[in-house]
Amino acid sequence: MQETLFLPLIIALPLLGFVILGLSGKRIGEPAAGWLASLLVLGSFLLGLVLLLQGGARWTLAEWLPGIPFSLNLDNLSGVMLMVVAGVGFLIHVWAIGYMHGDPGYSRFFSYFNLFIAAMLVLILGDSLPVVFIGWEGVGLASYLLIGFWYQERVNADSARKAFIVNRIGDLGFLLAMGLLWSMFGTLSISELVEKVEAGGYSFTTLTLAGFFLLIGAIGKSAQVPLTVWLPDAMAGPTPVSALIHAATMVTAGVYLLVRHAFILHGDGFLAGLIVTVGLLTAFYGALCSLGQWDIKRIVAYTTLSQLGFMFVAVGVGAYWVAIFHIVTHAFFKALMFMTSGSVIHALGGEQDVRQMGGMRKYLPATHLHGLVATFASGGLVPLAGFWSKDAILAYSFEFGPWLWVLMLGASVLAALYSIRWYVLVFWGEYRGRSPSGRTNAHAPGGKAHPHESPAVMLWPNHILMGGALGVGFMGLPYVIDYKNFIEPYLTKAIGDFPHEKLPVVTEWVLIIISAVVAIAALWWGFRFFQQQMPAWYERFQTAALQGFYADAVYNALLVNPAKGLAELLFVGDKGLLTGFAGLGSLMGGLGGLLAKLETGALRFYLAGLLLALVLLLGWGVLR
Amino acid sequence: MIWLIASALLFSMGAYGALTRRTAILVFLSIELMLNAAALSLISFSRLYGSLDGQVVVLFIIAIAAAEVAVGLGLIVAIFRRRETTSVDELRQLRG
Amino acid sequence: MIHVGLWLPLLAGLVLLIMPGLGRGFAIASAAISLGISLVLFAGYGGQGVAYASQTPFLPEAGVYYALGLDGAGLLLWIAVSLVVLLGVWIADVPVRFLAYTLMMQTGLLGIFAAQDLIFFYFFFEATLIPSLLMLWFYGGADRLRAIYTFALFTLVGSLPMLAAIFAVRFLGGADSFLYTDLAANPLTGQTASLAFLGFMVALAVKTPLFPLHAWLPSFHQQNHPSGLADAMGTLYKVGIFAFFKWAIPLMPDGLREWQGLLLFLAAFGAIYAAWVAFSAPDWKTLLAYAGVSHMGVAALGLFSGNGEGTVGALYLLGASMVYGSAMFLFIGLVYKRTGSLETSPVRGLAKHAPALYVLGMFLLMAMIGLPGLSGFPGELMALLGAYKVSPWLTFVAFLAVIAAAAYALTAFQKLFQENTQAQAVPDLDTREWGFAAVTVAVLLLMGLYPKLFTLYLEPLGKALAALFGGAS
Amino acid sequence: MLTLYMLAGFATVLSLLAFVISREANRIVTLAGLVLAGLFCLVGWGQTVEAFGGLYRFDTLARGLTLVAILGGLWALLLGPAKKFEFPLLVLYAVTGMHIMASSPNLVVLVIALEVFSLPLYVLATWQRDEKGFEAGLKYFLLGALGAAIFLYGIALYFGATGSFMAGAPGSGPLYLAGLFLIMAAFAFKTAMVPFQWWSPDVYQGSPTVVTLFMATAVKAAAFAAMLRIFTPQGLEAWGVGMAVLIALSTLFGNLGALTQTEAKRLFAYSSIANAGYIGLGLYGPTGQATIPFYLLTYGLATGLIFAVLSMLSNQDVPLERLRGLWYRKPLLGGAMGLGILSVLGLPPLAGFWAKYLVFQEAARAGLYGLVVLALVTSAIGAYYYLKTFFLIFSKPTPVQEAEDHEAEAALTQFGSSEAPGIPVAAAPMGLTQGLMAPAARTGAPALGLLLGAIGLLGLLSVLPGLGLQAFSAGLSPAVAAVSITAPASGATLIAGSYTLQGTGKPGETLELFDNGNPLGVVTVGPDGRWSLPVATSTLPSALAAGAHTYEVRRAGQATGASTNVNVAQPAEPAFTSPLEGATVAATGFTLQGTARPGQVVEIFEDGASLGRVTADANGQWSLNVPPPPGGTRVYEARPEGAASGARISLVVPEAQAGAICSQSFALSNLQAGGTVSRPFRFGGVGSASSYTVLVRRGDRIIGRKEIPLSAACGWSYFSDPGPGEITYEVRETGRLETEPPLTTITLQVQ
């Protein structure tokens, strides 16, 4: 592992883009700004690839803060994440060149986008927790800026703010985790923590608490139950943002964080149960909500939630490499799904309601193909990427407990359903929208008469992603097929080896076949079902799901409004505090007034007072 | 000793007088009485110690009393001319 | 050098007061020279102990020496003060005499950080009040009289018990003079220490400010000149943390031991309380006032932990908050210049016409709510690490403010800049304001990304204090 | 002495002359008298003049407070009415009385002085000859007469208990206490301390403002001078608690009472009650004789400014509201008054702060923390009304006031006024309706000068309070630590050069040391009150001679001091003198010192390795620099040349802390001169390069190279055990070419 200055350079490249575009983006103009941003990300990708192939790299600035170095570490784990972030990030950048065409904030968009990549890279590469935290909040900031990219609309600004605040709840967990780990081990460097945790000599209960704090952080960032509420709203941002930040990369940072700290979580029954519970709840919640959405992006957003739940379950059952594997496959198919949605939106001049879509397979053949692959990968069709990673999760779940396997199987049925629902509503059937002619939109100026296929700059990234969604699964085949697959040993080298019993070959095969068959069946059933008129029970379900099962309302009633009310109350109280102090002042004044009354002006009173004082003084002074 | 008690009594009488009289002149006279009480006790102490110091001081006291009378009476007379009264109870403009 | 650095601003201020014709350029020149001197002093600092120490008998009969010197913390704060003053006189649109008071106040502040004699510390601590009061009085808002009384009386009522405690420290501690070295060699112990510490506590709680003695702060800021210059100076005047660190704790470590629980509680509670209150602040200055209380609560939490990390964090956060807090006030001054009002509630949508202003605001706001990578974070983190060792629960309570900060700051910010349904047409940054923005951003980034520059010098101080305090309970 | 003659003489002569000369001339002569008296106070400052068998004692205290009283008189004269010649005369009488009061330790003289300044004041109080004036005068007079009676009775009892009229006579018993407390009551009355303050608000308000000014400044000065003589810290036991009660009540009553006042003079009457309390705090401390005059001086200047401005505004009541906008209407008056107020409030950096600080410190020294806290809290309360007034002055004037100003100016120009020439500092409507005593404000150049002078002096005292305090401390017996020699003890027998003189003194002062009358050296006392001087460091040739030595330490300029006698013997066998056995020494190297027969050669060994040879000087002293030693306990040995053993000493070398920044330039500690050494031996020194290379030669032949890294203590050290014969070592920074000249070259003769 080499100590090299090229490592911070990986981060510096997109950061440079942020600065240049931020300061003089307007002058660079369109599309040069977009290409500049994209190329810088590509540069990071290539640089990272080179370093990774050389066996990783480190870079340290000692005593950045007392006892805390500023250290970066490129190992296999962060390397894989770097490939995903910079690679998929690059594709989305390129795609956005087409998508953001004509937006007045074009260069601003790419400047933020580069900022995001930089922050995400810091998060991934950071080896010291405060450095990770810089990235952690940095991506939060970038997400805030991008969700509120069209801040002129109140709802967008509100969503951005909500995302930031909810994320900060998670950040508090992260901070407390740092505090606890520091007080336990006196270091915040992850590589040192690994050693110290192995060395022992501490209370395991405390370590569990540290893991719990980290989990809170991860829940916030990955929008798990109960902090899911910000993610659907985050769709207010431009579609590339949703694809990059809220599907492929940032939201998986929570999973990454947990995997990075597998050495803390591993073997802790309480945390495992908690993580599995959280993941499972999120998987179901996301899936069910997705089934009720009409907004094309919100559909996909909830599917992301559901998939994130899968990843959490993977972490919970101890399948750390699987969680990362799923991140990789998910990055491809979910980015593809979002960008397909984006292409459709683009084609329809900004229309996002799926009830106004349908039949797009005729108008947008290439996009349709992307959509199809994304659906199948997401729905878990053999042998696309999503199948293999999901299957691995299921296998590990079976190991954890057959009941979990059953539940997860149910969740994957839902996954198949929502994927196919999205596909059917968008691409199948007949076009339900009003004639697109005459509709103009800021994002697609001079609306076309016809839903039109996207330009090449948007198609090619999707082609590549489609390739990924088809192929990346093969690097993580189950052991019964490929005894030594690529990714497991590769990641285990960085995550740490937590050996476990493999399932018997027969069981494994049975599980694979069941999940494959179930997926196919669910996809087929869904394909038929969603073309029909919906039955009444589904309508009722849909109404509740559309509102996210009223999670926002509950939060508003239970938390947000009381907090605001209390703020008002405290504000008045604080004024009262000052009044209280002022009251003390007037009390003094009153006392003074009374005392001054003693100066009655009557001479004989004075004489009496004087003599009385004299007597008292004498009496007390002499007799004392 | 007896003279000391006498002087203390004299002092108290003066004080009493100063408190109960309303006319400025009488108040002032009462206070002069207190001066004399001091003089009386000085003399008795002087005899006690057998030194003349105290007695000399008494002479000074007499002079002081005279000076005070000169100033005081002048003052009181001036007030009487203006207000036609010397009652101290009516002087209550300055207060608070 | 240190003497010139200390007295030059006062002199310049007096000259400017007498000859206002010299104008802003003169004030800027003075402030720039001050900053230059601070930087030279910083560059020449050896890294250990008190540098540039000098002492001259002042009232030798009474044991008072005119003694100056700067340690790592003093240098950090000198630079912060000089920088903010320069930014302030550079950017604020105020009458020239106002600038004169600003410069005079600078001397007081520098003196507080450089004094190595307790009486001189007290002298500067109090004397700084005068220019501050004059600024508020001559250029304050309509209801300023009340604010003045509150401010002045809180300060005086608070600091006078400190004077009694100062006497106690020397005479009961048995030192021969009020020199720091002398007093530190004879610290108070036991019951007397805790009583004397109480005296310091009251005074310094006012100036930290710690709940509930922060009550003067909101009205102080509300009533001050809308340019924000006086508020910026007021922010610099929040020297309680420094004084606790420099004087109260080393001279009475037993005092901190006695009161640690209460102080930690007040700090933690104040942090979350003020952040919460800030959410309903009707105007920006009130909001920033409460935000400041909240941050100082966090810093105080770190300091009162009595360990190295906490101390470093508290001092660093203090220095950083001086810069970003003041810059924020000055920034709000720019907003006022454009909109004529500081209320938080109306939707203004300024970003539409003033994008650069928007970006600057965003940056400052993020620095204020402690975004990692910007100036607030290193201090907050170290304070957290220190505090967590001592009291995890209070740390949790205090750092709830992290969430609340995001809530109040972003909510108000959104109304000011975004949602431009009712966008006000305002001019964007002009050249002078660009200069302000560039320097501020550069400094905040530097402090956030390379804290080592200062923490290298703060760390020995933190260790010394921790050793003195004998480790956290 | 001349001051007394001057005051008394002018008073007597002018009393007769005034009938003849013009009233303006009379005023000027009076002024001249006061100024002359003041000047004679300054002549011989710091010296004490006694006269009349001890009845008159003109010391620094008397000088200082007489000056304050004269200052008050000057204020009154320059600002006061000039229509009648009696006014200056009365002021002059009063000042004379005050001077006597300040300068006498005899109670009887004090009584007389009291009357001498009180009687004119009664008259002055009624100067206005209106209802309020008469009321004030009568109240003052009757209560004052009562006060005098109490004082006299107190003196009588005091005399009865002690048989003496001198202040500070020791005594005990109820009679003594009764006398003392009666006297205290009388002075509390004069200084307006609660509960004897009754008269003061009424009288301050009813008197003409200049007279009020005079009372507020001068009377307090005189009374406190007497109190300082009567209530000395030695008698604290007797009077302390009673005074504490008075002080506590005064500060409370004064500050609280002032809060609700609406009339300026009355407000400052309450303020002066409070200040009397603060000044009282100074009585408790050992240096109160200096701090109280300092307080009174600053207070006199500050209140003087306040009342002077008030008197320029009006001779009558000044409702606070009238002060509004003074700064804008009359900047000089407003500024002066503002300055005065802030000073009285005690806000740094003004002189009032230092004054308050000093008297509070006196009380704190005496351990009266309760009283100090109370005083501090009440002065914080006081801040409210001071600030209220201050900000009133600096408010914008109301339109009505501005109109009034215009009217007044118009009236002035129209009617003219002999009383108000030129400078438009005089304020608003006055002078036209007030009949006889009309405008009190004389606004001529002298008044202006006085105003500016007071501001200047106040400013000076603010910046350099030490100046004032030092002046008032002159002639005080040194309160702190006398000089002494604590070691060596008298009669000890010591080895020459092996000992250190130690002693005590006042922190910061410089002392001279003498050895048998010859100057040995100068030391500065450290802040802990200790000094020390190693005899070996002296440049005096005879310092190390054998025989009897008498060491004496003196304050600069004084003829005698503390001394000690010792016998000094010449050393015999080599011995160590410094450091002491078991001491911890610096890891970066240190110096070994010792003694031996003069001219003897001593070789020093460190754990058996030679560090080189030294030769004892004519006094038997030798020293050797030890290169940075390795950490741990090291044994050093001083062997006479050729001997197998010698005196030993073990020293502790701390482990050097890693990470130090090495900045010393290269140096060689021992064996600089080369010469002969035993083997093995060690040489070394300090440096800053990361390592050095030693090149070893015999003749021209290079026989070895060795790289020696710099130790954590920034030292380098080379240990060598070569065969006998001449050997040369060259030291270079590692990496330098061997053709370059070396940093140092050592040529040794190894035995």
- Closest by CA to A620, choosing from D185, B16, D250, is D185
Q: What is the pLDDT of residues D193-228, one digit of tens each?
A: 988 999 999 999 999 988 999 998 899 999 999 999
Per CB-CB distance under 8 Å, the chain C contacts of D365 are: 167, 171
- Whether A574 sits inside 8 A of C417 (CB atoms) is no
pLDDT of D564 higher than 90? no
Of the two residues C44 and D505, the one the predictor is more confident about is: C44
Examine residue B96 and state whether it is found in any structural domain, yes or no.
no
Q: What is the pLDDT of residues A377-386, one digit of tens each?
A: 999 888 899 8
Q: Which residue has the tokens 């309970």?
A: C473
pLDDT band at D410 (very low <50, low <70, confident <90, very high): low
Strand A2-3 to A57-65 pairing: parallel
What is the least distance, in Å, from the CA of D379 to any CA of chain C? 8
Q: Answer whether C touches B (≥3 Cβ pairs < 8 Å).
A: no
The per-residue pLDDT of chain A, averaged, comes to 89
Predicted confidence at residue D479, as pLDDT, reads: 46
Predicted confidence at residue D422, as pLDDT, reads: 34
Burial group, residue D529, by CB count within 10 angstroms (0-12, 13-18, 19+): middle
What is the least distance, in Å, from the CA of B10 to any CA of chain A? 15
* Interface size between A and B, measured as CB pairs under 8 A: 31
- Whether A175 sits inside 8 A of C399 (CB atoms) is yes
pLDDT band at D412 (very low <50, low <70, confident <90, very high): low
CA–CA gap between residue D653 and residue D623 (Å, rounded): 19
Query: What are the DSSP E strand ranges found in C29-157?
Result: 51-59, 64-70
Could you list the residue range(s) of the whole structural domain that residue C217 is in? 2-469
Q: What percent of chain C has pLDDT over 70?
A: 99
pLDDT of D434 higher than 60? no
CA–CA gap between residue C278 and residue C280 (Å, rounded): 5
Q: What is the pLDDT of residues C170-192, one digit of tens each?
A: 888 878 789 998 888 888 888 88
- Which residue in the set C388, C450, C456 is minimally distant from A182, CB to CB? C388
The per-residue pLDDT of chain C, averaged, comes to 90
User: A189 forms bridges with which residues in the sheet?
Assistant: A128
> Is the minimum CB–CB distance between A622 and chain B shorter than 8 Å?
no
Tokens for A408? 């997860």
Q: What angle do CA D191, D197, D201 make, to 5 degrees?
A: 100
CA–CA gap between residue D541 and residue D587 (Å, rounded): 33
- Rounded to two decimals, the pTM is 0.82
**pLDDT, average across residues C270-283:** 92
Q: What is the pLDDT of residues D461-489, one digit of tens each?
A: 988 888 888 888 876 654 445 677 777 77
- Whether A138 sits inside 8 A of C372 (CB atoms) is yes
> Is the minimum CB–CB distance between D153 and chain B shorter than 8 Å?
yes
Could you list the residue range(s) of the whole structural domain that residue B14 is in? 2-91
- Whether D141 sits inside 8 A of B71 (CB atoms) is yes
Overall domain count for chain B = 1
Nearest residue in chain C measured CA to CA from D392: C145
Phi then psi dihedrals of residue C58, to 5 deg? -115, -55
DSSP D139-194: HHHHHHHHHHHHHHHHHHHHHHHHS--BTT----HHHHHHHHHHHHHHHHHHTT-T
**pLDDT, average across residues D159-180:** 87
DSSP D208-233: -HHHHHHIIIIIHHHHHHHHHHHS-G
Q: B44-81: buried (b, 16+ CB within 10 Å) or exposed (e) per residue?
A: bbbeeeeeeebeebbebbeebbeebeebbeebbebbee
Please write down the HEC assignment for all residues of A416-444: HHHHHHHHHHHHCCCCCCCCCCCCCECCE
Predicted confidence at residue D268, as pLDDT, reads: 93
Kindly report the number of other CB atoms within 10 A of residue D638's CB atom: 25
Q: What percent of chain D has pLDDT over 90?
A: 29
- Closest by CA to A151, choosing from C352, D33, D619, D112, is C352
Domain ranges in chain A are 599-624
| 3 state SS of D548 | strand
Overall domain count for chain C = 1
Predicted confidence at residue D482, as pLDDT, reads: 64
pLDDT of C257 higher than 60? yes
Phi then psi dihedrals of residue C94, to 5 deg? -135, 160
What number of helices (H) and strands (E) belong to chain C? Answer: 21, 2
Residue D133 and residue D207 in contact, taking contact as beta carbons nearer than 8 Å: yes
Residue D129 and residue B78 in contact, taking contact as beta carbons nearer than 8 Å: yes
Predicted confidence at residue D409, as pLDDT, reads: 62
Tokens for D364? 């704190």
Nearest residue in chain A measured CA to CA from D241: A621
**pLDDT, average across residues A122-139:** 93
Kindly report the number of other CB atoms within 10 A of residue D181's CB atom: 25
- Whether A601 sits inside 8 A of B94 (CB atoms) is yes
The per-residue pLDDT of chain D, averaged, comes to 83
CA–CA gap between residue A159 and residue A163 (Å, rounded): 6
Q: What angle do CA B53, B58, B63 make, to 5 degrees?
A: 130
Strand D493-495 to D562-569 pairing: parallel
CA–CA gap between residue A315 and residue A278 (Å, rounded): 11
CATH number at residue B23: 1.10.287.3510
Per CB-CB distance under 8 Å, the chain C contacts of A178 are: 381, 384-385
Per-residue DSSP letter, D435: G
- Whether C148 sits inside 8 A of D376 (CB atoms) is no
pLDDT band at D660 (very low <50, low <70, confident <90, very high): low
What is the least distance, in Å, from the CA of B69 to any CA of chain A? 19
Kindly report the number of other CB atoms within 10 A of residue C123's CB atom: 23
Nearest residue in chain C measured CA to CA from A149: C418
pLDDT band at D411 (very low <50, low <70, confident <90, very high): low
Tokens for D367? 């351990």
Of the two residues D366 and C400, the one the predictor is more confident about is: C400
Nearest residue in chain D measured CA to CA from C62: D358
Q: Which of D60, D354, D357 to mutate to test the interface with C (most CBs of C within 10 A)?
A: D357
Non-local (6+) Cβ contacts of C11 within 8 A are none
Tokens for A250? 């940032």
Tell whether omega for the bond before A31 is within 30 degrees of 0, i.e. cis. Answer: yes
CA–CA gap between residue C248 and residue C250 (Å, rounded): 6
**pLDDT, average across residues C287-316:** 93
Non-local (6+) Cβ contacts of D552 within 8 A are D485, D513, D514, D517, D560, D561, D562, D563
Burial group, residue D580, by CB count within 10 angstroms (0-12, 13-18, 19+): exposed
> Is the minimum CB–CB distance between D142 and chain B shorter than 8 Å?
yes
How far is residue A413 from each of residues A510, C53, C277, D316, measured CA to CA in Å? Answer: 17, 76, 48, 99
Q: H-helix or E-strand containing D720?
A: strand D715-720
Q: Which residue has the tokens 């006094």?
A: D619
Instruction: Determine which of A106-120, C355-369, D7-21, D541-555 has the lowest per-residue pLDDT on average.
Output: D541-555
Predicted confidence at residue D476, as pLDDT, reads: 65
ipTM, two decimals, is 0.85
Predicted confidence at residue D416, as pLDDT, reads: 42
Q: What is the pLDDT of residues A509-547, one digit of tens each?
A: 999 999 999 999 999 999 999 888 888 888 889 889 888
> Is the minimum CB–CB distance between D131 and chain B shorter than 8 Å?
yes
- Which residue in the set D177, D257, D384 is minimally distant from A621, CB to CB? D177
Q: What is the pLDDT of residues A251-299, one digit of tens each?
A: 999 999 999 999 998 888 899 999 999 999 999 999 999 998 999 999 9
Phi then psi dihedrals of residue C274, to 5 deg? -65, -40
CA–CA gap between residue A458 and residue A347 (Å, rounded): 11
